[in-house]
Structure 1
Amino acid sequence: MTEPTPAVQAPIRRLWPAPTGTPLDDDALTELYGRAEQPCLRVNFVTSVDGAVELDGYSAGLSNGPDKRVFGVLRMLCDALVVGAGTLRHEGYHAVRLDERRRAWRRAHGLAEYPTLVVVSSELVLDPAQAAFADAPVRPLVLTRAGATPPPGLTDVAELVPLGTDRVDLAAGLAELRRRGHRQLLCEGGPRLFGALTAADLVDEVCLTVAPLLAGPGADRIITGTPSPPRGMALRHVLGADATLLLRYARA
């Protein structure tokens, strides 16, 4: 998905801790979200007040200027961007590209100019011609299961990493990504991948935008799949932009 660039944005301010009346620029947001000293898997979602993950079938209906600003900062900070195959297809992901200012920040901090796209797919129902693959500035990785058959042309545009037999072994996948130097991982979903990562106790942070909307019945939640035990999270900060809240949670 191409990083959105909204024309007009409400200013973002810190509400907690230590409220600030001064709007936060991108440098301040970068410092607030930061890069962890240890390996970290961060999940980023936007939701309505009543917990919907979509409007009219797409997450874009919930997103707004402040959410898109944080979206861009989080992509700049990560080593690799992890997404489920269903979300990649449904949301129409484009190549993961950053503007020159953010590429310069990454170069200055010893990072590759672009994060690596990592797609999680058990069945490899993927289109090699999709821009996320065909136009990628860095060769994407596809975490899959052993024995899955790739469609023609996929191995020309992506590297397949087989892990597990019946399903993708996510713990082994994260270990492999970190072995390759991708220590700071950002997951943008979808809900089924979020559920699987949570069930495997692999989620270190959740960045959640709460859009000031009531979506009503019918929409999915930001997480789905096999039930797993609840896990405590600690609130790190609360940012606000008009009626939008931007929350950051980490392992308690």
Structure 2
Amino acid sequence: MVQHRPHTTVVLAMSADGKIADFRRSPARFGSGADKAHLEKQIAASDAVLFGAGTLRAYGTTLTVSQPLLLQNRIQEGKPAQPIHIVITHSADLNPEIKFFQQPVKRWLITTTTGAIFWQGRSRTLSSTERTPAQKCPREFEQILVFETRTGKIDTLAALQHLASIDITRLAVLGGGKLVASMLESDLIDELWLTVCPLILGGTTAPTPVEGKGFLSQLAPRLELLEVHTVEQEVFLHYRLQRLVD
């Protein structure tokens, strides 16, 4: 079934043993300058970036486009200097004092009705049943988008379909592992960029690029390797999700 949604690319750095953070879930700063430049390039190529609340809590900020050439290219293409930065979270339990809320980007929130309660005093939130699930917010979030299933979970497909309807055609997903797992389970990922960094983190509780319940091997999503290259000690892997063609 064709899903009218943005082309979605996961961009993550991981240790050689497949961990995106240590067992304390500290901010993952083990990537090199080359990896940071690669991430910035992927962000610059996107109309919006999406990340979970855990990722935002760990870092407290988001990565903005700062390279002059990347900024120039976006402006020449008629795009704003920065893509939209979207937090997706069921609870929306976020500290409004973190630096993220002072960064010069458009901030959106995708959440449930329950998750929007904290922010209701700051802006009016519309439900998905109102057909226009966006409302101006003067400070923290320019838009709060409420898309909810009957079971009270975030309806990620409906949220992505809404993004596509307002001309967001390319979306970069920056973590964490639970978000990536849920999107893979719903077949909402098109590509992955994985940077393999030269360290071992270990730990049974350390997060991985894909968490959640996991997949049986015979039902696991299959990947096609598009390209691979190395920069000093890091390996950059670019995959595409394989899909059956009717």
- TM-score norm. by structure 2 comes to 0.80
CA contact (8 A) 1:196 1:226 kept: no
Distance in 2 (alpha carbons) for counterparts of 1:248 and 1:59 = 23
Say whether residues 1:167 and 2:153 are aligned partners. yes
The 10-residue stretch of structure 1 (125-134 or 186-195) with the greater mean CA deviation from structure 2: 125-134
CA contact (8 A) 1:76 1:102 kept: yes
1:102-181 matched pairs, under 5 angstroms: 102-138=70-106, 140-148=107-115, 149-151=117-119, 152-153=121-122, 155-156=137-138, 157-158=140-141, 159-165=143-149, 166-181=152-167
Residue 126 of structure 2 corresponds to none
Residue 133 of structure 2 corresponds to none
Distance in 2 (alpha carbons) for counterparts of 1:241 and 1:97 = 21
Say whether residues 1:71 and 2:39 are aligned partners. yes
Question: Equivalent of 1:242, from 227, 232, 239?
Answer: 232
Which letter does structure 2 place at the counterpart of 1:123?
Answer: S
Residue 89 of structure 1 corresponds to 57
Distance 1:95 1:245, change over 3 A: closer
Distance in 2 (alpha carbons) for counterparts of 1:136 and 1:129 = 15
Say whether residues 1:42 and 2:9 are aligned partners. yes
Distance 1:126 1:136, change over 3 A: farther
Q: Deviations over 1:84-114 (max 9, x none)?
A: 0111112211473434332111011222211
Which letter does structure 2 place at the counterpart of 1:100?
Answer: P
Distance in 2 (alpha carbons) for counterparts of 1:202 and 1:101 = 30
Distance in 2 (alpha carbons) for counterparts of 1:171 and 1:61 = 31
Residue 58 of structure 1 corresponds to 26
Distance 1:103 1:146, change over 3 A: same
Residue 226 of structure 1 corresponds to 213
- Sequence identity of aligned pairs in percent? 24
Q: Deviations over 1:50-78 (max 9, x none)?
A: 11111363353331122112111111101
Distance in 2 (alpha carbons) for counterparts of 1:88 and 1:99 = 22
Distance in 2 (alpha carbons) for counterparts of 1:118 and 1:167 = 17
1:136 Cα offset (Å): 3.3
Which letter does structure 1 place at the counterpart of 2:144?
Answer: L
Kindly tell me the number of residue pairs found equivalent between the two proteins: 214
Which letter does structure 1 place at the counterpart of 2:233?
Answer: A
Q: Deviations over 1:163-211 (max 9, x none)?
A: 0141111111111111111110001001111111111110100000001
Distance 1:127 1:59, change over 3 A: closer
Distance in 2 (alpha carbons) for counterparts of 1:94 and 1:198 = 23
Distance in 2 (alpha carbons) for counterparts of 1:216 and 1:99 = 34
State the Cα RMSD in Å. 2.0
CA contact (8 A) 2:181 2:211 kept: yes
Gap runs ≥5 in structure 2: 124-136
Residue 184 of structure 2 corresponds to 198
Distance in 2 (alpha carbons) for counterparts of 1:91 and 1:237 = 29
CA contact (8 A) 1:80 1:185 kept: yes
1:232 Cα offset (Å): 1.1
Distance in 1 (alpha carbons) for counterparts of 2:62 and 2:78 = 25
CA contact (8 A) 1:95 1:131 kept: no
